[in-house]
Amino acid sequence: MMNMADLFGHVVSPVRRDEPLCDGAVVLRGFALADEIALLQALDTVVVQAPFRHLVTPGGFRMSVGMTNTGPLGWVSDRSGYRYDPVDPLSGKPWPGLPETFRQLATAAAAHAGFAGFVPDACLVNRYEPGTRLSLHQDRDEHDLGQPIVSVSLGMPAVFLFGGMQRADPPIRVPLAHGDVVAWGGPARLRYHGVLPLKPGHHEALGAARINLTFRKAG
């Protein structure tokens, strides 16, 4: 692992540590804490332009997690399927531009995890409230599956499920706190993953909510 004290201007928090999950996947504890204020300010700007919404699956089910996007491409779901689209279907306008703070954090986290040169063009923003969850799934709608995924946790704690290459493979349970980052790619890129139902609670900055920023190279 490289020294990240000054990569892209990102200052590493003294409380952070690395926890490998498997070959190609690692939890970077506290990696985003140094950028907390800038991240939350940028998040507010994004949500004003593209508010959270509850997408519908191709099967017609309403997703419990609130979602929005920032960057050249945004992940969307409706009765026609899952896809990336440069236009917000609610406003008919391009998604908000990817904040520089977001991009720098994603690139730095990926490099620290061993994936140098990662430049995301999509950031899916998920908002969890108590009781909401994300079922096990693979991220495979991206054009280049050789690119990693970087996932940033903000707000209330959650339990991340990190499974195997088959849906039936039992997942490990990974507690995530405000400022933790998970990065995975290479041999781990298509592992199933999800989030257990969020427990009741409160975070001083985000209230009764958890925000997850998922960075991908989609195009």
pLDDT of residue 15: 60
Per-residue pLDDT of 19-74, as tens digits, reads 999 999 999 999 999 999 999 999 999 999 999 999 998 999 899 999 999 999 99
Topology classification of domain 17-216: Jelly Rolls (2.60.120)
Domains of the chain: which residue ranges?
A: 17-216
With 50 as the cut, is the pLDDT of residue 5 above it? no
With vertex at residue 158, the alpha carbon angle to CA 156 and CA 97, rounded to the nearest 5 degrees, is 70
pTM: 0.91
Q: What distance in Å separates the CA atoms of residue 27 and residue 205, rounded to the nearest whole number? A: 22
Three-state SS at 37: helix
